Amino acid sequence: MYDNNNIFAKIIRAEIPCKKVFEDDKCLFFYDINPVAKIHVLGIPKSSHVDFSDFVNNAEPSDVSGFFKKVSFVIEKLGIKNDGYRLVSNSGINGRQEVPHFHVHILGGESLASNL
Ligand code: AMP
């Protein structure tokens, strides 16, 4: 069950500020408030989906592909495509997901720890 009061829902509604990287009518990309890499950006669709599986299985297929194309666009915009980056999407208890609105972490800008 999606919680309309999660922090990313509030960011989408502009009730809480964020440092935007890119926004359109379907998605929003902004800097993580507690970065774990030199560049740490979060990407979220504006639709109400709890996690990766919920988004991929229940969103319109065109919105799923459109979102991931925007992830790729933002990676290029951040200038980290050539040197490489990491995409992470935490889900549920074992994935230690803190915010129950589907999101991807885009990490880069430096050589990342090899702990995956
Ligand atoms: P996750 O564990 O994948 O759910 O990660 C949630 C992420 O959201 C964490 O990396 C937090 O630092 C980040 N976060 C929480 N609140 C905010 C906020 N207001 N603005 C930007 N990032 C946030």
pLDDT tens, position by position, 29-61: 999 999 999 999 999 999 999 999 999 999 999
pLDDT band at 91 (very low <50, low <70, confident <90, very high): very high
| 7 touches ligand 1 (CB under 6 Å) | yes
Q: Is the pTM of this model over 0.85?
A: yes
Asked if residues 75 and 106 have their Cβ atoms less than 8 Å apart, the reply is yes
Residue 116 has pLDDT above 80, yes or no: no
Decide if pLDDT at 98 tops 80: yes
Confidence of residue 114 (pLDDT cuts 50, 70, 90): confident
Picking from 104, 95, 111, the residue whose alpha carbon sits closest to that of residue 74 is 104
Residue range 13-24, pLDDT digits in tens = 999 999 999 999
By percentage, how much of the chain surpasses pLDDT 70? 99
The letter for the amino acid at 2 is: Y
For residue 89 and ligand 1, the question of a CB distance below 6 A is answered with no
Is 21 close to ligand 1, i.e. is its CB under 6 Å away?
Answer: no
pLDDT value at residue 25:
98
75 CA to centre of ligand 1 in angstroms: 18
Q: Burial, 44: exposed, middle or buried (Cβ in 10 Å; 0-12, 13-18, 19+)?
A: buried
User: In the chain, what is the straight-line distance between the N-terminal and C-terminal CA atoms, in Å?
Assistant: 29
The per-residue pLDDT for 2 is 97
CB 21 within 8 A of CB 35: no
